[in-house]
Structure 1
Amino acid sequence: MRVVVTRATEASVEVEGQVIAELPRPGLLVLAGVGHDDGSDDAAALARKIWGLRILDDEASASDLNAPILVVSQFTLFASTRKGRRPSWSRAAPGEISEPLVERLCVELERLGATVQRGRFGAHMKVSSVNDGPITITIDTKSWE
């Protein structure tokens, strides 16, 4: 799995003109993508990593501050731009694999104690955020860099 974690003072997701999810206070916006080789263990490991990342004020983690997390599925994180001008999405897992793993990430975060809001899988979403810092980190469970 691959995520982009952004510290945000505000974040929301709109679908068809309606706000369907938002951070109730400053927290983390997580864009999450799933690859073909990803599984439940990847989702659980990512949840632990995200919950414990010390990227909030004074090097606090979301777990330290009980900061909320907004998770948005983002298959485009697996885009390949190696050839031509049109990205290839072949490295992204199909919806029947991706959707349960993004949900597993959310459930694992909640199990750890997080308040989690969710985008709508497969929908055309308008994601808004006010990035704080800005601090934005990418994590890939296949490289853990």
Structure 2
Amino acid sequence: MSLRKCNSAIGNVSCSNTTSSRKKKEKKLDGRCFCGLEVALMESGTVTNPNRWFIRCPLWKTRDCKYFMWVDEIEKGWEGLARSLAKRNTEHCYTICEDGLTITAVKRENQESFSMIARKMKKLRGEVRTSRVLLVTIAVVAVFCLTCNLYLVMKI
């Protein structure tokens, strides 16, 4: 594994140069890259690190951010990543520029919208299931009627 340098503007990411022979030093994560953007979770497809998950700056091609971390090197791995991202989501505040007010209800509205969408999806899945059963029933009845008609025609 190559040597990497990790720095954070916030100061809560601690990294060290690591090699495959050294013990990994655990890193802490706040869910944002050096640019301040939300990190992107990716899966490696390289020969040297197949199927290994990492996070990086979403604009790594256009900016010189260089933010990169392997998920298994983050403090507490996936659990730490999930906690950090959940914490980041609950700490979001949105401000209205005209009044300078801080709105915390936006997050709650988003959660309510998500719940409403989930309920609608469940209802639609039930309707699709009912429609499938109805179509199968109609098809079976149609085949039965055709069979009876053919039997009567052949009998005459």
TM range (shorter): under 0.3
Q: As a proportion of its length, which structure holds more helix?
A: 2
Look at both structures and tell me which one has the larger radius of gyration over its CA atoms.
2
The structure with the largest strand share of the pair is: 1
Q: RCO greater where, 1 or 2, for CA within 8 Å and sep 6 or more?
A: 1
